[in-house]
Structure 1
Amino acid sequence: MKLIIPEHYDPKLSVRETQEAIKYIRDTFQKELGKEMNLERISAPLFVNKNSGLNDNLNGVERPVQFDLLGVPGQTMEVVHSLAKWKRMALHEYGFLPGEGLYTNMNAIRRDEEFDNLHSCYVDQWDWEKVITREDRTLETLKDTVRNIFKIIKHMEHEVWYKYPQAVKQLPEDITFITSQELEDRYPDKSSKERENLITKELGCVFLMKIGDKLKGGEPHDGRAPDYDDWQLNGDILFWFDHLDCALEISSMGIRVDETSLADQLKKADCEDRKDLPYHKMLLNGELPCTIGGGIGQSRLCMLLLDRAHVGEVQASIWPEEMREACRKNNIFLL
């Protein structure tokens, strides 16, 4: 268990006021996200068939929650880690056109997540995905989309300030773009997380690009599944968070793999056996649309805007009793 207790911590709002603020942020943000990015709200699954290839494999070592169903004998179901691949299939099956997209409320269980101020076994995020043309699979498309999401988050800061001026966190005025290789060149003697913290503390908010492929030092900046983001056209939105003296990831996103980048990344990740899964076959055959997409953490966004020291203050989950007790003693009220 890792727990950081900020000195003289004051959450400003009561538990019931916090619940009201959480609902306001979630309701308002998803409306703004849909309007600004031309996304339709759709329903999404909590679990998928293991053999479909639709689940997000994350770093490849996390164990999905698995179970069987009485009505589907001989099949194994998995609670989703995210909907990274499912959304692209949905865009295809529902007939979305270039410039159109979807978003959904995604709920997941990540059983191997460590317990600390930022991480929970329960994940709640807005998963979104948008159809683009093959010609739009560019760095400029990615950057324009990131700037748009940053603008929506900044707008939310002002909206929350009107209702809860005593509680809102002041965010930086701009977002800076930097690649994982530029970051390694800048801080060659630091770990990946140390690099993220140093650059985000300096600049306030960054979009860290090109995550998944090996850097000059021989290791990738961070793990990325090889079958959804194109490792040359992806990244994370990071905000500096004073309470915890670290970078806070709000969103992971990217332009998705095409046939060429999927084959290349599966080979690099030693995952070429996935080529035989239904989803991957469709993608390699050119049957799925080109898309850009990502996830935006709902609890993380509430935590950021309300300046909270623990994600458990803005979501109901399971925590070790010793963590709950330590939080109770230090004015951190876990839901």
Structure 2
Amino acid sequence: MSYLIKPQNYKPILDLKQTELGIKQIKEFFQMNLSSELRLRRVTAPLFVLKGMGINDDLNGIERPVSFPIKDMGDMQAEVVHSLAKWKRMTLADYNIEAGYGIYTDMNAIRPDEEMGNLHSLYVDQWDWERVITTNDRNAAFLKEIVERIYAAMVRTEYMVYEMYPQIKPCLPEKLHFIHSEELLQLYPELEPKGREDAIARKYGAVFIIGIGCKLSNGKKHDGRAPDYDDYTSEGLNGLPGLNGDLLVWNDVLQRSVELSSMGIRVDREALLKQLKEEGEEKRLELYFHKRLMDDLLPLSIGGGIGQSRLCMYYLRKAHIGEIQASIWPNDMREECQRLDMPLI
């Protein structure tokens, strides 16, 4: 069986009908608040892109995309997106979006290499967003301001859920804690990255870890990042490298931290060259997306993704993401979840 957390004495607070209504209200309310906070307009996004153009998100560089041939285009290969990290930046350019404004969209992806469990599914749904910035915005202070705006929308949404279902008490802290991945390593040197995340999230309730993808003092990365979208090498918080990060909250149902959002200031030409060189991926400079960036045809931007099912799972106090979304699960997991009172859709 894939990895399954089995919370003791778990009982769903809401029935199926209440859950479906809650999901609808959360998604409508949160995206309206996100749009307002960051001045984003909604756009339509692709489910798949052409292979070999450098548009698809490479995640950690090892995940296999779902691909298929296109009959009417000479069997050219298309790939189902992993996320829209690069596509959004090109869309900002194509729509001539001005600095201080941006776009958001519903991103639906298939990630066949995910290890299925309480938090990971083959199906990924998130709000992908991107906003045009200026050179003066490429700093840790601006990153923190944007993150705090997103977190404010999350707090308001949690209160809306409480008004709908008073039995679900709000638990997000008023303030979000910021820490760099290197500072987190120094704080918990005996723990692996996931253990550090659990420890800091348990302590503060909600935390934003800056510097995901840069090498730490122990020679390792806190977590992987594709080298061609987030800037994880430019100077950021307290002089440490990284203008990106992950937003995590403490999940009391699962007794662990849960990542709800990954985001960052995107690479400029200098950061792209540096990060591709570090990863031995200079060959990507020949791809369509990278050529546009190197030719200054793409705006500077900040962007990220916010997990829709994970956010709903957190607000509605569910123990398994399969209680929120429909997907494929191993039979033994489905049977075990049914026995544990976490029926999968």
Fold agreement, TM-score > 0.5: yes
Matched AA of 1:294: G
Corresponding residue number in structure 2 for 1:242? 252
Corresponding residue number in structure 2 for 1:260? 270
- Secondary structure of the 1:248 match is strand
Q: 1:66: how far off? A: 0.7
Quick check: 1:316 aligned with 2:294?
no
1:75-114 equivalences under 5 Å are 75-114=76-115
Q: 1:169: how far off? A: 4.7
Note if contact 1:13-1:167 (Cα within 8 Å) is conserved in structure 2: no
Note if contact 2:13-2:317 (Cα within 8 Å) is conserved in structure 1: no
- Structure-1-length-normalised TM-score: 0.98
- Secondary structure of the 2:57 match is coil
1:159-198 equivalences under 5 Å are 159-198=160-199
Corresponding residue number in structure 2 for 1:210? 211
Corresponding residue number in structure 2 for 1:29? 30
CA distance in 2, matches of 1:71, 1:220: 43
Bigger mean CA offset, 188-197 vs 166-175: 166-175
CA distance in 1, matches of 2:332, 2:339: 11
- Per-residue CA deviation, residues 251-283 of structure 1 (Å, 9 max, x unaligned), is 000000000000000011111110000110111
1:225-304 equivalences under 5 Å are 225-231=226-232, 232-304=242-314
Quick check: 1:328 aligned with 2:338?
yes
Note if contact 1:169-1:304 (Cα within 8 Å) is conserved in structure 2: no
Matched AA of 2:107: M
Matched AA of 1:90: T
State the identity as a percent: 52
Note if contact 1:212-1:221 (Cα within 8 Å) is conserved in structure 2: yes
CA distance in 1, matches of 2:329, 2:134: 44
Note if contact 1:41-1:103 (Cα within 8 Å) is conserved in structure 2: yes
CA distance in 2, matches of 1:312, 1:293: 27
Note if contact 2:41-2:103 (Cα within 8 Å) is conserved in structure 1: yes
CA distance in 2, matches of 1:266, 1:169: 43
- Per-residue CA deviation, residues 281-332 of structure 1 (Å, 9 max, x unaligned), is 1111221100000000000100111111111111111111111111111111
CA distance in 2, matches of 1:301, 1:81: 19
CA distance in 1, matches of 2:166, 2:8: 21
- Secondary structure of the 2:344 match is coil
CA distance in 2, matches of 1:120, 1:240: 20
- Per-residue CA deviation, residues 136-183 of structure 1 (Å, 9 max, x unaligned), is 111111000000001000000111111111135522221110001001
Corresponding residue number in structure 1 for 2:142? 141
For this pair of structures, how many residues does the alignment match? Answer: 335
CA distance in 2, matches of 1:123, 1:167: 25
Q: 1:220: how far off? A: 0.7
Give unpaired runs (5+ residues) of structure 2. Answer: 233-241
Q: 1:93: how far off? A: 0.5
Bigger mean CA offset, 77-86 vs 13-22: 13-22
- Per-residue CA deviation, residues 42-90 of structure 1 (Å, 9 max, x unaligned), is 0000000012110000000000001011111142100000000000000
Note if contact 2:159-2:170 (Cα within 8 Å) is conserved in structure 1: no
- Structure-2-length-normalised TM-score: 0.96
Corresponding residue number in structure 1 for 2:236? none
CA distance in 1, matches of 2:323, 2:204: 27
Matched AA of 2:274: D
Note if contact 2:98-2:132 (Cα within 8 Å) is conserved in structure 1: yes
C-alpha RMSD of matched pairs (Å): 0.9
- Secondary structure of the 2:221 match is coil
Matched AA of 1:282: R
Bigger mean CA offset, 34-43 vs 1-10: 1-10
CA distance in 2, matches of 1:271, 1:169: 45
- Secondary structure of the 2:114 match is coil
Matched AA of 2:194: K
Note if contact 1:168-1:305 (Cα within 8 Å) is conserved in structure 2: no
Matched AA of 1:107: N
Note if contact 1:62-1:110 (Cα within 8 Å) is conserved in structure 2: yes
Q: 1:213: how far off? A: 1.3
